[in-house]
Homo-oligomer: A and B are copies of this chain.
Amino acid sequence: MKHLSDIGEDELIRRLVALVPTGKSAEGPGDDCAVMDKGGERLELLKTDALVEGVHFLKDAEARAVGWKAVARVISDFAAMGGVAEHFLVTVALPGSMEVCWIENFYRGMGDCMKAHGGVLAGGETCRVPEGSAAVISVAATGSVERGKAVLRSGGKVGDEIWVTGKLGGSLAGKHLSFTPRVEEAKWLVEHFKPTAMMDLSDGLAKDLGRMALASGCGFKLETELLPLTDGCSVAAALGDGEDFELLLAAPVGMDVAGWLERFPHLELTRIGVLVEQGEGDDLAGGWDHFA
C-alpha cells in the first residue's frame, strides 16, 4: 500500500490529473497558474494555493503577516506569468477555539496585500476543523494577462540565459511572511527582457529550476558562484530553503540590465546560468517537496 509520503508531489499531480476531465485550456495544470482563453482581450488566469498551520506558518505567527503571505503567494504566481490578480476566494478551516481577533487580523493582512498589489475579495468560506487539527487556509483567485503576453515555464530554449531577481536563501528568518510579490518587476521584464520562460521561486531554486528546464525540454548549467545570496546564507540555503518568491526566468542571450537598474535600483537582477540540451548540465538535489 503506497502512502503520499512514498511518492513525490510532482508524481502525485501527474497521476491525479489523468483521473479527471481537464478540457481545453491554453495551458493545463502544471504551470504557475492555469491560463484560460475565453475569447476576450485578456486571458484568464486561475490559481489556488494553501497554507497549513505547522507547515507554512507557526501557531504563534502574527495573523496579519500570515494573511499577507496567503494573498502574496497567489499574486506572485500571477506575476510569474506576466499577469495580475483580480478576484480572490478564501477558505479558512479553523478550530472553534480559535480567537475571533486572529481571523480578523488574518483578513486585515490579506486586505493589506490586495490594496498594495491588486485584487479584491469575491467570496469566502469559514468552516470548522476538529479541535487539535491544524488550521488550513486555501486561497483561490482569478487573474488576467494581456493576450500574447503570458509567459509560461515551458518556452525556454537551449542557449537562453537564466536570471533571477533579488537574493536567495534564508526565507525562514522572516522573508517568507513579508515578501513583496514581483508584479511590477515581472511586467517590466515581459516588456523589456522578452523572457522565454518564467516562474516564481516557491520550492527553492534546486527544485524550481529543474522544473522550468524540464517543462522547456532543456537541461541547465548553473554558475553557483554567481548566485545572489541573502546575507549570511550559503549556496545550499539559496538552492534549498524555498519560499524566496523571486522571479526565475530564461531570456535570449545578451540582455542588458541597464534599464532594470534604472527602474528598480534596489533589487538585484542576476544572470546565474544557461539552458542546455536535455540530459546535459547539472542535476541538483534539494528543495522543498510537500510530501517528502
- Interface on A for B, CB 8 Å cutoff? 1-7, 9, 12-13, 15-17, 19-23, 25, 28-29, 33-34, 36, 38-40, 44, 46-50, 52, 54-56, 87, 89-91, 93-101, 103-104, 107-108, 110-111, 114-115, 120-130, 132-134, 136, 138, 140, 142, 290-291
Contact = CB atoms under 8 A, between A and B. Distances in A.
B22 A89 contact: no
A16 B124 contact: yes
Contacts of A46: 87, 89, 122-123, 142
Oligomer copy total: 2
Given A34-B122, A122-B25, A96 B129 contact: no
B36 A87 contact: yes
A3 B96 contact: yes
B138 A104 contact: no
B7 A93 contact: no
A17 B121 contact: yes
A48 B138 contact: yes
Contact of A21 (B1, B2, B115): B115
Contact of A136 (B9, B49, B93, B111): B93
Contacts of A104: 15-16, 19
Nearest to A136: B136
Contacts of A2: 99-101
